[in-house]
Structure 1
Amino acid sequence: MSAEIVIQPITATAFAPYGDLFDCSGDADMIINLGKCGRFHDRAQMDFGTGRAGLSLFKAEIRSLPYEFAILERHPLGSQAFVPMCENGFLVIVAEDANGTPINPKAFETQAGQAINFHKGTWHGVLTPLAGSGQFAVIDRIGDGNNLEEFLLKTPHVVVGA
């Protein structure tokens, strides 16, 4: 038996307890390159502690709804940003922390052109594209120490569309 989670619309406010939602909406903070490029400046609060920023490329398997998951992970030493390399949204699963245990999982779906940054220590699901190439640029902490904790849920959860 599994617990059902309905996808919620993602907004910066709804996602704020878990991280940053960022995109190029609104006016650019500055115009650069002789007026040919808008810079949307400092849109995510990256935190690498004693490590350094690393840029990796991921290619994840495309998933479909309903989507069943039984594992959540978090990165206690640094934040982790996912920037899609295609014009498709993706599924974002997050959970609150209760003394080292993830509780109350939620599911969001980003829109084309949106990226997310998980705050340090945020429980989240694995990379879950629902369409597109599955390719992402991932910016996260590189350095000493164990920056990955995984938690197997006793009851799998199923994400369904709204």
Structure 2
Amino acid sequence: MTRITAEPLTEAAFAPFGDVLEVAGPPDRLINQGLCGRFHDRARLDFDDGRPGLSLFDAEPRHLPYLLEMVERHPLGSQAFIPMSLSAFLVIVAPDTKGLPGTPRAFLTAPGQAINLHRGTWHGVLTPLSAPGLFAVLDRIGAGDNLEEHWFDVPYTVTA
């Protein structure tokens, strides 16, 4: 079994896989009579035919070390995961290597961070590390096969 050490989620490290969504630095502009900072257009949402949909996911908490047996990807659209609590969650992604996932990487979010996975990015399942595991998810709704799964012959163990 191969070990993967989870690293902090940063914009630079996560850039090949998607967008880190967080309030960082000054807002792009102030709205609502100057009482609200707008951090504008932070995710590259990308959908094939179909439409964007907002769903709520309620996932069981997991713990570290975590056994990574499978990754999946969505070839027809991006997928944003926005936690509805200020709890950390585990994000696992892998580069595409000739149609198969390469060596996975694991990231631990900080409170207040969300992610948007680019279309076709190999990723692990939703992995909250504490309850509640409630997320708003923005992704593609429509016809067509938008899910590919890959099961590893030898699982990975993800540690903190």
Which TM bucket (shorter chain)?
Answer: over 0.9
Q: Which residue in the other structure is 1:58 paired with?
A: 57
Runs of 4+ in 1 over 6 A off after TM superposition: none
Encode CA deviations 1:107-142: one digit per residue, 9 max, x unaligned: 001100000000000000000011231000000001
Match of 2:100 in 1: 101
* SS of alignment partner, residue 107 of structure 2: strand
**CA RMSD, Structure 1 to Structure 2 (Å):** 0.8
Matched length: 160
TM-score by length of 1: 0.96
Matches within 5 A, 1:1-162: 2-161=1-160
Which blocks of at least 5 consecutive residues in structure 1 are unaligned?
none
* 2:12 counterpart SS class: helix
TM-score by length of 2: 0.97
C-alpha distance in 1 between matches for 2:37 and 2:130? 28
Partners of 1:53 and 1:100 in 2: CA distance: 25
Conserved in 2, the CA contact under 8 Å of 1:87 and 1:132?
Answer: no
Kindly provide the amino acid, as one letter, of the partner of residue 90 in structure 2: L
Distance in 1, Cα, partners of 2:87 & 2:95: 26
